[in-house]
Amino acid sequence: MLANAALQCQLTAGSIALTQGPNGVRIDARLRGSGKLIIGTLASPDRLDFGALTTIDVKAFADLSQAFPRVRPFKGMRVTLAIDNLLNERQTVTNLAGIVPQAYQPVRRDPVGRTVLIELRKVF
């Protein structure tokens, strides 16, 4: 039996936030470098190549009572728009033959892809 070699990749993350009081925007980015993993047996070795992956998440939030101070229902109300994986990136995985193994199909590794969330919060 061939022991699996360690998957080596670099992970870099960064974040920037611009806020003014209860309003603002936050951007998070992650870069995962490519890597290789040796699998299989001595008689039938194989290698998985993991492609680099960059994901960007954006979150914007606003206090509606500041934007509309004369509208009573907006008092204590906050709206947030969050987009995860803004560019809908997915990591590619191939073996030595250039085929994507069944367990590493994009729909299995990341079935959701990009996610958009709108949140409305009210403090009573």
Q: Where are the domains of the chain?
A: 15-27+52-122
pTM for this model (two decimals): 0.80
Alpha helices for 18-124 (secondary structure H): 64-67, 106-109
Residues in the chain: 124
How many Å apart are CA 65 and CA 8, to the nearest integer?
49
Going residue by residue through the chain, which has 124 residues, state the pLDDT in tens, using 9 for 90 and above: 444 555 566 779 999 999 999 999 999 999 999 999 998 888 888 999 999 999 999 999 999 999 899 999 999 999 999 999 999 999 999 999 999 999 999 888 887 889 999 999 998 8
Q: In a 10 Å sphere around its CB, with 0-12 CB exposed, 13-18 middle and 19+ buried, how is residue 69 labelled?
A: exposed
